[in-house]
Amino acid sequence: MLDLLYAVAVAPFRDMAGAPAFLIEVLIGGVFAGLMYSLVALGFVLIFKASGVFNFAQGVMVLFAALTLVGLLERGVPVLVALALTTVVMVALAFAIERLVLRPLVNQAHIILFMATIGLNFFLEGFGEMLWGANVKKLDIGIPDRSFIVRGVQINQLELTAAATAAVLVTVLAVFFQRTRIGRALRAVADDHEAALSIGVPLRTIWVVVWSVAGVVAIVAGLMWGAKSGVQFSLSLIALKALPVLILGGFESVPGAIVGGLIIGVGEKLGEVYWGPLVGGAIENWFAYVLALAFLLARPQGLFGEKIIERV
Amino acid sequence: MRRRRILIAVLAALALAAPVTAAAQSREVFVPLLVYRTGPYAPSGIPIADGFVDYFTLLNERDGGINGVKLAWEECETQYDNKQGIECYERLKGKSPVVVNPYSTAITYSLIPKAPVDKIVVFSMGYGMSAASDGRWFPWVFNFPTNYWSQASAVIRYIGAQEGGLEKLKGKKVAHIFHNSAYGKEAHPTLEELAKKYQFELSLLAVDHPGQEQKATWLQVRRLNPDWIFMSGWGVMNQVAIKEAVSIGFKMDHLIGNWWSANDSDVVPAGEGAKGYKGATFHAPGTNFKVHADLLKLVYEKGKGSAKKEDLGAPLYNRGIVNAMLTAEAIRTAMTKFGNKPLTGEQVRWGFENLNLTEQRLEQLGMKSFTHPVKVTCEDHEGSGPVLIQQWDGKKWNVVSDWIAPMRDVVRPKIEGAAVEESKKLGYTMRDCAKEK
Amino acid sequence: MIYREAGQFKTTYAADQAVFSIVQDRVAVAAAVVGAFVVPPLVASEYWLQAVLIPFLVYALAAIGLNLLTGYAGQLSLGTGGFMAVGAYSAFKLATAFPHLNVLVVFVLSGLVAAGVGLVFGIPSLRIKGFYLAVATLASQFFLVWLFNKVAWFTNYASSGTITAPDRTLFGVVITGPNSAPSARYLVALGLVAVFAVIAKNLVRGRIGRSWMAIRDRDIAAEIIGVRPLRTKLLAFGISSFYCGVAGAGLVFLYLGSAETLAFDISISFLVLFMVIIGGLGSILGSFLGAAFIVLMPIVLANAPHALGLRLPVALQKQIELMVFGGLIIFFLIVEPRGLARLWQITKEKLRLWPFPH
């Protein structure tokens, strides 16, 4: 019993203290992994904020964006043109979704909209694969996936770039939300879409905009994840990695997605490296959820979520 | 209201389009192909299916089938999913197939109990249930030319040879990075026993499905600093693992994948960095064989090929060829006894059991030194075939070892023990091979 | 004309509260049940039994379970696959540890184990709501599947990590395991589903069901009128998990024959949720309709090109199938968000007037 307690509560910390450089490496690995999750979670947050839709298809949108980009690159389209074209495709997708899915389902229960996005998920899976094939494709964005060592701590260039990208993306989104006209409209819709409608905010335009922005976020996430693992079908599964980030940070909060990502990333790496071996490893997947769950029990609406006020 | 009417029309249409089963063809041998050309595992599933189909097409085009009996096949998409696999199997069963290649360990397990009932041979080439190698217990299941346990022992033998002898393994650190599933864990019993025997330090590092994010595992690798890594990966896990290994600067020629972790699609995303990565296999990669020339000439030039020309020779494509060839040769063996006509499952089972693929026969088939001769017996459905190590040079795979024999003295007793265990679950009894002549 | 209740007077409270208050309904349902027991074992081919009917029944049971939780008690759950895994693995452990135990008892016991696990994982629902809860239930999904994968004890230390249904008999007939006939397995599945569907139907009509619906519609208001949220929610999780657990046991013992943990991964949770929503939230009949739809549709889509004489490459066919599947789901949600059960209800309304609508 005591041994067990020691193994769970003391040994991992001694382990950490014994090899500080390695601990720092784990922490850095966690931070980077977390930011990668945040990139995906951001797309969820944007859509939930503006339309109250829990968009399960965000993972597939990442896949779809990456597939389109790589498909264009493979056909010899220059990088910038390909990026522009992919953006166009994602915006077109946003239009189509608004027209064909959201508009007919306006005012339905959340769960119905959620289901519709799962339907969309299936559709895009089939469609993306039909267009671009199921093979693994290499995505080379010019950043070598190599590491350099600073004082015994290993840092990966690609991850560093991803982190920087996430930071830039969040800043841009923050400015977009706070400073631009359309950003203010978005926030108005998020607060109360009927009230927003009554003062003349065009709801449909807002939806198209927000799904387009989520599409662009998906391109960025697709770029980063695609560079990491090659572009392939499994990219859509990273949505499952973003969900704990989402509930931890709160569905409506952009900073929440970042902070949540960091907590989940660092938490699951520490858990896997220091406590995982006790139970045979591969605990990352559920550990992230349990960690998020633990936070939720303290704050049921996530760290940065809007407080739920309930009335009878 | 109008929408509702459309909806009812759609429902009615769905109800009408009920499944149909075609009648069995008379002058053909029918082989159902459970493939996965879509979904997360498609990058591995596509080349295997292509290789298989192309070889069968070649047989029909070049030889008019097997001894004049045409080969017929039908693909069914499983997405590597057990439930869809069973649906496919039941659907294609109506066409009286003689042998089924499940291409998934889970589907294999579901089909094994059905095999003796439906009289359809289950041929799980190099995967599935290792215990089924004991043919006394599992007459209907074949997994030659070799299985996961033989492979693990051969890889350890290779590592030993690289270190300068198996006794030099003492004190070395070997890590096994595995897909956290039945498949990934399959090699553990053998590895653990060998670790005890040769006193190397074995660490088992699991990667959870699907394996998109493996940072933690590779951080552990970095701390552990193993001398060798053996990897049993699958799908996206392979690509990410190889990239992570590159990124932490692990010596790539000390990273050995098993035969499902060493295809072109696995190394391509890692680019230059993957150079030096090794993988186990039981047939050569590349297209320098007569069979490939035949394929190009007789199948591809007629526009009947299923892959792109430049994809020929990828390890998994070649594996599809081997799989198709072994299937065809088993059917041919059965014909020597039962005559050149469409056969029943039972007759084909005899063919599988008495398959003796010799060096000469391989040469006739245009596969000299492409794969190793196999001899199947009533007791041994695996043949403990030897294993090759191939290495990625940045452009293509090259064979870098001789045929490495597995450690049959370690593996076979384990198989026999496991066969008793597994058969107990199925209520099988052991047959007497002396009477099976 | 045929379907009309004119002249049927309810003279007692019991008659008024009957599940099927109209004679035609009673006759139709009785005929359907008897037909289901008699016709398929005589007529259906092995393909139909093994690939269509048995999975339909197993999924219908799981869908009823999830519908109790999500449709009636309003707690969105994505942990169905985990609870089904609990049922499957405990059934396997029980059946192999006590070979003489009646297999039906094994099913019920494994349902109870799943119910226990469901109670534990239902605790967060007291504080967490809506999508937060849905994602939180994923914790149970991932944890349970990991657990069964990791701990070899659950698979009796099988080197493959696969569980295989053993041969078990009922009244001398082999009903599970490799040597059982599909028709026998079908009958067992049908029997289980019939019994549990009747229980579920009566559960939701009674006090428990009403308290669930009160919680679903406005939990604070329900609390004020004296429904205890703790007990009610946990009861919903427990009973729902019981159904899922029995369905999970059925999945391995009656349908697949063997399984590894991958069979219970997240996709099965989504599949069952689909059934519930397409079929109709808060409807037992809907669970059946949804399960039938989701089981049959891919099969029909996979076979349709054949039936039409088209020879498509399998990959293309699968991709089209996915697209049509996704498209149809959206289409159904748009046309009738309340599901197939609602559609059925409308049809019945129409039938009452048919053929003289005015």
pLDDT of residue B198: 93
ipTM of predicted complex: 0.87
Does C91 map to a domain? yes
- C96-131 CB burial, b ≥16 within 10 A, e <16: beeeeeebeebbbbbbbbbbebbbebbebbeebbbb
How far out from the chain centre does Cα C174 lie?
24
d(CA C239, CA C233) in angstroms, rounded, equals: 10
Question: Which residues form the domain of C118?
Answer: 40-265
Residues B254 and B324 in one domain: no
Q: Which of C118, C112, C105 has its CA nearest to residue C75? A: C118
For testing the chain A interface, which of B215, B220, B232, B240 should be mutated: the one with the most A CBs within 10 Å?
B215
Mean pLDDT of the region B427-435 = 84
Taking an 8 Å cut-off on Cβ atoms, the answer to whether A105 and C334 are in contact is yes
Question: Which two three-digit tokens encode residue C241?
Answer: 């998990």
d(CA B58, CA B299) in angstroms, rounded, equals: 6
- B81-106 CB burial, b ≥16 within 10 A, e <16: bbbbbbbbbbbbbbbbbbbbbbbbbb
Does C22 map to a domain? no
Residues of chain A with pLDDT under 50: none
Residue B22 has pLDDT above 50, yes or no: no
Q: What are phi and psi of B377, to 5 degrees?
A: -130, 175
Average pLDDT, chain B: 87
Other C-beta atoms within 10 Å of A6: how many?
A: 11
Does C325 map to a domain? no
Question: Which two three-digit tokens encode residue C341?
Answer: 């059960």
In C98-205, alpha helices (H) = 103-122, 130-150, 182-205
Residues B291 and B279 in one domain: no
User: Residue A284: which of B208, B247, B265 has the nearest Cβ?
Assistant: B208
Question: Per the structure, how many domains does chain B have?
Answer: 2
pLDDT of residue B26: 55
Strand spans (E) along chain C? 163-164, 168-170, 173-176, 258-259
User: By the 8 A CB rule, do B291 and B190 touch?
Assistant: no
For testing the chain B interface, which of A24, A28, A127, A136 should be mutated: the one with the most B CBs within 10 Å?
A136
Residues B275 and B355 in one domain: no
Does B161 map to a domain? yes
Residue B18 has pLDDT above 50, yes or no: no
Contact of A87 with chain B, judged by CB distance below 8 Å, is answered with: no
Task: Return the amino acid letter for A213.
Answer: V
Other C-beta atoms within 10 Å of C214: how many?
A: 20
Residues B185 and B165 in one domain: yes
pLDDT of residue C358: 64
Does B6 map to a domain? no
Question: Which two three-digit tokens encode residue C148?
Answer: 């069964």
Taking an 8 Å cut-off on Cβ atoms, the answer to whether C158 and B421 are in contact is yes
Contact of C70 with chain B, judged by CB distance below 8 Å, is answered with: no
Question: Which residues form the domain of B115?
Answer: 21-147+286-384+415-435
d(CA B93, CA B84) in angstroms, rounded, equals: 14
Confidence grade of residue B382 (pLDDT, cut at 50, 70, 90): confident
State the smallest CA–CA distance between residue C91 and chain A in angstroms. 24
Residues B267 and B156 in one domain: yes
d(CA B380, CA C327) in angstroms, rounded, equals: 50
d(CA C45, CA C49) in angstroms, rounded, equals: 6
Task: Return the amino acid letter for B428.
Answer: Y
Confidence grade of residue B7 (pLDDT, cut at 50, 70, 90): low
Residues B371 and B336 in one domain: yes
Taking an 8 Å cut-off on Cβ atoms, the answer to whether C329 and A100 are in contact is no
Q: Taking the model in full, what pTM does it have?
A: 0.89
State the smallest CA–CA distance between residue C240 and chain A in angstroms. 19
Residues B431 and B323 in one domain: yes
- From residue B295, alpha-carbon distances to A67, B74, B316 in Å are 31, 20, 16
For testing the chain B interface, which of C138, C143, C149, C159 should be mutated: the one with the most B CBs within 10 Å?
C159
d(CA A226, CA B240) in angstroms, rounded, equals: 10
* Secondary structure class of B206 (helix, strand, coil): strand
Does B5 map to a domain? no
Question: Which two three-digit tokens encode residue C248?
Answer: 């999970």
User: Residue A230: which of B39, B239, B248 has the nearest Cβ?
Assistant: B239
State the smallest CA–CA distance between residue A248 and chain C in angstroms. 9
Contacts of C132 in chain A (CB under 8 A): 247, 251, 296, 300-302, 305
Residues B77 and B119 in one domain: yes
Please state the length of chain A.
312
Confidence grade of residue B20 (pLDDT, cut at 50, 70, 90): very low
Per-residue pLDDT reduced to its tens digit, B234-276: 888 999 999 889 888 899 999 999 999 998 888 988 888 889 9
What are chain A's partners, defined as 3 or more CB pairs within 8 angstroms? Answer: B, C
Nearest chain B alpha carbon to C143: B208
**CB < 8 Å from A in window 343-402 of B:** none
pLDDT of residue B10: 55
Contacts of B235 in chain A (CB under 8 A): 234
Per-residue pLDDT reduced to its tens digit, B203-244: 999 888 788 888 889 988 988 899 999 999 988 899 999 988
User: Residue A241: which of B38, B213, B219 has the nearest Cβ?
Assistant: B213
Per-residue pLDDT reduced to its tens digit, B68-83: 899 999 888 888 888 8
d(CA B35, CA B100) in angstroms, rounded, equals: 11
Contacts of A286 in chain C (CB under 8 A): 139, 142-143, 146
Nearest chain C alpha carbon to A123: C323
CATH number at residue B378: 3.40.50.2300
Residues of chain C with pLDDT under 50: none
DSSP states along A32-45: HHHHHHHHHHHHHH
Which domains are seen in chain A, by residue range? 21-298 (1.10.3470)
Residues B255 and B271 in one domain: yes
User: By the 8 A CB rule, do A303 and A251 touch?
Assistant: no
Residues B311 and B364 in one domain: yes
User: By the 8 A CB rule, do B162 and B154 touch?
Assistant: no
Taking an 8 Å cut-off on Cβ atoms, the answer to whether A126 and C136 are in contact is no
Q: Which of A126, A70, C233 has its CA nearest to residue B42? A: A126
Contact of B11 with chain A, judged by CB distance below 8 Å, is answered with: no
Q: Which of B188, B186, B182 has its CA nearest to residue B82? A: B182
Place of tokens 């469409």: B342
Per-residue pLDDT reduced to its tens digit, C269-322: 989 998 998 899 999 999 999 999 999 888 888 788 777 777 778 888 888 888
pLDDT of residue B24: 41
Does C237 map to a domain? yes
Contact of A21 with chain B, judged by CB distance below 8 Å, is answered with: no
Residues B109 and B172 in one domain: no
The DSSP bridge pattern shows strands C173-176 and B121-123 to be unpaired
Taking an 8 Å cut-off on Cβ atoms, the answer to whether B77 and C302 are in contact is yes
Q: What is the CA radius of gyration of chain B?
A: 22
State the smallest CA–CA distance between residue B164 and chain C in angstroms. 32
Question: Per the structure, how many domains does chain C have?
Answer: 1
Contacts of A30 in chain B (CB under 8 A): 215
Does B268 map to a domain? yes
Nearest chain A alpha carbon to C77: A111
Contacts of A134 in chain B (CB under 8 A): 37-39, 42-43, 46
Contact of A66 with chain B, judged by CB distance below 8 Å, is answered with: no
Percent of chain A, pLDDT > 90? 23
Does B396 map to a domain? no
Burial class of residue C201 (count of CB atoms within 10 Å of its CB; 0-12, 13-18, 19+): middle
Contact of B180 with chain A, judged by CB distance below 8 Å, is answered with: yes
Confidence grade of residue B21 (pLDDT, cut at 50, 70, 90): very low
Does B397 map to a domain? no
Residues B75 and B200 in one domain: no
Q: Give Cβ neighbours of residue B238 (< 8 Å, ≥ 6 apart).
A: B231, B257, B261, B263, B266
User: Residue C128: which of A279, A280, A296 has the nearest Cβ?
Assistant: A296
Does B342 map to a domain? yes
